[in-house]
Amino acid sequence: MKQLNPSDYDIDPITGFLPARDPLTRLPQAYDAWEQCVAELPSYLISGHVRQWLLALPCIDVSSMTDVAELERAMLVLSYLGHAFVWGESPTVATLPKNIALPWYQVAQKMGRPPVLSYASYALQNWKRFDINQPIALGNVAMLQRFWGGIDEDWFILIHIAIEAKAAPAMFAIPAAFAAVTSQSNDALLTQLETMATTITSLYETLDRMVEHCDPYIYYNRVRRFIFGWLNNPEIPNGVSYEGVDAWHNQGQKFRGESGAQSSIIPSLDAALGLTFDRTSPLFQHLLELRAYMPPKHRQFIEDIEAYEKHCSIRDYIRQAKDKPLIDAYNACIDGIHRFRATHLGFAVNYINKQAEKPGSPVATGTGGTPFISYLGAHVQDVLNSRLS
C-alpha cells in the first residue's frame, strides 16, 4: 500500500489538525451584516431578544464563495447565529429562518459536513494568536467567537485548541510507524511509539488544566446549552427544520451537537494502535456517526489508517516480536490514551452529572446526543484492556 502522508489530509507538521494558516478573522465586505451581528451576539443574547436581530439579517448569496478560509469563516459565523436562534431565547424554536438556514446549508454542502455547530467550527477554526511568531499555545491564543462570553466559555474551547496544537508529532509518527513495521525495523518503530507516547502525555497534561478557569457550574448553566444539536433533545423532539432548503422539504433535521469526540486525534491513534471495541455497542456506532461532522479529509485520514492497519498491524507486529522495549512503548501509548479518556470521564461527571439539579435536566444525554456516562465508562475500560503483556 502507498505510504500515508498526513499532509495529503490537511494535517500540518506544526499545527496538526488545526489550519496551517491562522483562521480568517473576518469575511469580505459583502458579508458585513453577518459579521456585525455575530460581533454583537453576546450583547444580543443578554438582551433576551436575539431573534429579532437575527431575523433582520439579509439572505446573502454564497454561491460564489469558493475560498476555503472564507468558507470556514462563514461556517463558523452561521453556526453561531443558527445556534443562537434556536437556543438563545425561551421558548426554544425548531425552525430556522431562510436568511440563516439557506446559506448555512449551502456553505455546509461545500464543506462536506452538516449545517450544525461542530467541533471544526467551535474549536479548530475558532482562534487567533496574539503573537503570530509564537506557538499556538495557552497564553498566546484567544477565541474569535463566543456566545455569552466569559473566561469559562473561552477556557473550555482554548484547552481543546491547545490540545490540537500539541498533537501533530503523533499524527506524523503514525505513517512512520507503519513504515517501520513494513521494513521490520524494531528500532525505528520504537522511536515512533515513543514519540506517540510523549505526545499523548502532553495531551492529557493540557486537558488537566481545564479546571484552572472553567468552573463546572458555569459550564453547565451557561456554556453547555448553546452547543447542543438537534438530536435526542426533549426541547426539540422532531429536530430543526431549515426554511428555504428545498432538498429537506421543511422536515426536521436531527443533527448531533458539538462534541470533543469530533476531534480526529484520539480516533487516529485508536486506529493506528489497533484498539478494538465492540462493534455492536451503541458507543461504537456513535463514534462512527460523529465522523460525518469532521472535515472530510480528516475523516478520510482515520479511515485510511484503519485500512492500512488491516494489512500492516503495529499491534500484531509487536505481539509477535515479543520485544520488551516495544511492548513497553506500546503500552505507554495505551496508558496515555486511557489516562486521557479517564480524565474526560471525570470531567463529564463533575461538569455535567453533578450539576444537574433540576428535574428533567438532560443529564443523561451529552451534547452529542448520547447517554455519555455509561458510554464513556465502558470505553475507558476497553482501552485499558488493550494493553499487551
Write down the CATH number for the domain with range 18-384: 1.20.58.480
How far apart, in whole angstroms, are the C-alpha atoms of residue 113 and residue 111? 6
- Structural domain boundaries in the chain: 18-384
φ, ψ (nearest 5 deg) of residue 15: -100, -5
Quote the crossing angle between the two packed helices 314-321 and 265-273, to the nearest 10°.
40
Band the pLDDT of 319: cuts 50, 70, 90. very high
Retrieve residue 269's grid coordinates: 491513534
pLDDT at 178 (0 to 100): 98
pLDDT tens digits for range 13-28? 999 999 999 999 999 9
* 16: DSSP letter: B
Residues 6+ apart with CB under 8 A from 262: 118, 119, 120, 290, 293, 294, 368
In this prediction, residue 369 has a pLDDT band, given cuts at 50, 70 and 90, of: very low
Average pLDDT, integer, range 141-161: 98
Condensed to tens digits (0 to 9), the pLDDT of residues 67-89 reads 999 999 999 999 999 999 999 99
- What integer is the mean pLDDT of 112-137? 98
Between 349 and 216, residue with greater pLDDT: 216
pLDDT at 362: 47
Q: In the prediction, which pLDDT does 366 show?
A: 52
Grid cell of 105 as nine digits: 446549508
